[in-house]
């Protein structure tokens, strides 16, 4: 501010916003991120504007998740305050998405799609969530980003469960399992086995369910995860 560096001030405000978000001070975080957005617009800095929109979406997303922890309910059955907060997150991600499309930034589009999928899932809009996660998946494959691909499969599996499409969920979870082994991520492998166990139970394939749950148990023991 002293040296009149507006872009520097915008970036610093954005960083403050992200830090306050991590500290759980969501309302203060929004104020800082909004300053980042306002200055970026004033300076005609499209990249800064896109980043600020994404960060505000992140703050509302984190606030919504934080508020919903106290309600421990299935996605879609949320108190109005939580719904409103997640809806705001979704709106900012949408605005970010249209701007990064304009900028031709595919990696940023991938991040926006993933977060839109997650907010729509929490809001109980499972078909919309699936559409967004499929976009996320396509971009992850484009970039050879195996970790993002793995997350997309997992999220697609979760959303299909709520639509009662257990067989499709099982296919996505199997892909999650495959990739978690490729990535040598045992905790995620255990999670995938757990999801597959539950899905096989829903499909009434109890032999398979036992197999997956045993695998989950073995990994949990190996990781000392009580």
Last residue of a domain, one of 143, 175, 198: 143
Residues 113 and 186 in one domain: no
Last residue of a domain, one of 118, 143, 168: 143
Residue 149, pLDDT > 70, answer yes
SS (H, E, C) the chain: CCCCCHHHHHHHHHHHHHHHHHCCCHHHHHHHHHHHHHHHHHCCCHHHHHHHHHHHHHHHHHHHHHHHCCCCCCCCCCCHHHHHHHHHHHHHHHHHHHHHHHHCCHHHHHHHHHHHHHHHHHCCCHHHHHHHHHHHHHHHHHHCCHHHHHHHHHHHHHHHHHCCCHHHHHHHHHHHHHHHHHCCCHHHHHHHHHHHHHHHHHCCCHHHHHHHHHHHHHHHHHCCCC
Residues 130 and 159 in one domain: no
Question: How large is the average pLDDT for residues 108-119?
Answer: 98
| pLDDT value of position 141 | 97
Q: Model's pTM, two decimal places?
A: 0.93
Residues 32 and 116 in one domain: yes
Question: How large is the average pLDDT for residues 187-194?
Answer: 97
Residue 72's pLDDT band, with cuts at 50, 70 and 90, is: low
């Amino acid at each position: 501010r002293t040296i009149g560096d507006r872009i520097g001030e915008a970036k610093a405000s954005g960083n403050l916003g992200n830090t306050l978000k991590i500290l759980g001070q969501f309302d203060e975080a929004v104020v800082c991120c909004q300053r980042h957005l306002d200055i970026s617009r004033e300076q005609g800095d499209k990249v800064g504007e896109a980043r600020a929109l994404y960060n505000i979406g992140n703050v509302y997303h984190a606030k919504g998740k934080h508020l919903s922890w106290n309600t421990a309910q299935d996605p879609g059955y949320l108190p109005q305050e939580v719904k409103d907060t997640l809806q705001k997150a979704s709106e900012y991600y949408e605005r970010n998405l249209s701007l990064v499309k304009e900028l031709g930034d595919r990696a940023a589009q991938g991040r926006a799609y993933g977060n839109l999928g997650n907010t729509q899932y929490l809001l109980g809009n499972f078909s919309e969530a699936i559409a967004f996660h499929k976009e996320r998946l396509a971009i992850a494959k484009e970039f050879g980003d195996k970790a993002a691909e793995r997350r997309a499969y997992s999220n697609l599996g979760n959303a299909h469960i709520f639509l009662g499409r257990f067989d499709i969920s099982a296919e996505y979870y199997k892909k999650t399992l495959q990739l978690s082994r490729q990535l040598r991520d045992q905790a995620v492998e255990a999670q995938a086995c757990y999801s597959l166990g539950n899905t096989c139970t829903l499909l009434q394939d109890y032999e398979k369910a036992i197999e997956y749950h045993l695998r989950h148990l073995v990994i949990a023991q190996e990781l000392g995860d009580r």
